[in-house]
Amino acid sequence: MSQAPMSRRQFLSARPATTDHRICPPGASMRSLAAACTGCGQCEERCPTQIIRLVDGLPSLDFMRGECTFCGECAASCPEPVFTVERIDRFAHVAVVGDTCLAKRGITCQSCGEACPQQAIRFRPRIGGPFVPELRTEICNGCGGCIAGCPVNAITLQPYGMEAADA
């Protein structure tokens, strides 16, 4: 994720810039949440995978609890004009498998591939070691299904298009 610009005061006091890494429910944006969300919690109650949590009174997705199925229950339950996009089937981010991945460190593990509902993670064989995960970004919809399944928290999210620069 990109880093927010730092003020002179933050720089001189050695305080990092505060950035909100909140992931909004599908169809909502930070702008629409800030403008219209009342924090009623109906989206949290209606989410079938229970990944919506209110953080500072606004809904945020917690992929450590599960995946987003893009069912639209959060938008259907919201009494306010928070959800500005009718129906989406992917987020603006994709998963990235980091260097702490067990398979990348020589330990057999395919948890993320087994948890991915899109089958966006496949495993490439390599000589002398376990299969290595490869993420197909054109298939990944950013649902977060692979995140909770990783035993070492090696999977993060990156804005779509940025994952190649960090790999």
Query: pLDDT 10s digit of each residue in the chain, 167 long?
Result: 334 445 555 556 555 544 557 899 999 999 999 999 999 999 999 999 999 999 999 999 999 999 999 999 999 999 999 998 878 899 999 999 999 999 999 999 999 999 999 999 999 999 988 999 999 999 999 999 999 999 999 999 999 776 444 44
69/122 same-domain check: no
Q: Three-class SS of residue 127?
A: coil
Residue 116 marked as a ligand binder: no
**pLDDT of amino acid 87:** 82
51/100 same-domain check: no
Residue 150 marked as a ligand binder: yes
In a domain, 60, yes or no: yes
| Position 23, amino acid | I
pTM confidence score: 0.79
60/98 same-domain check: no
Give the whole-angstrom CA distance, residue 64 versus residue 43.
18
Residue 112 marked as a ligand binder: no
**pLDDT of amino acid 20:** 56
Is the separation of the CB atoms in 23 and 74 below 8 Å?
no
C-alpha to C-alpha distances, 147 to 6, 31, 55, 68, 111, nearest whole angstrom: 30, 26, 20, 11, 10
Give the whole-angstrom CA distance, residue 135 versus residue 147.
13
72/100 same-domain check: no
State whether the Cα torsion 153-164-17-92 is positive or negative: negative
**pLDDT of amino acid 86:** 78
Residue 109 marked as a ligand binder: no
Of the residues 22, 50, 77, the one at which a domain ends: 77
**pLDDT of amino acid 164:** 47
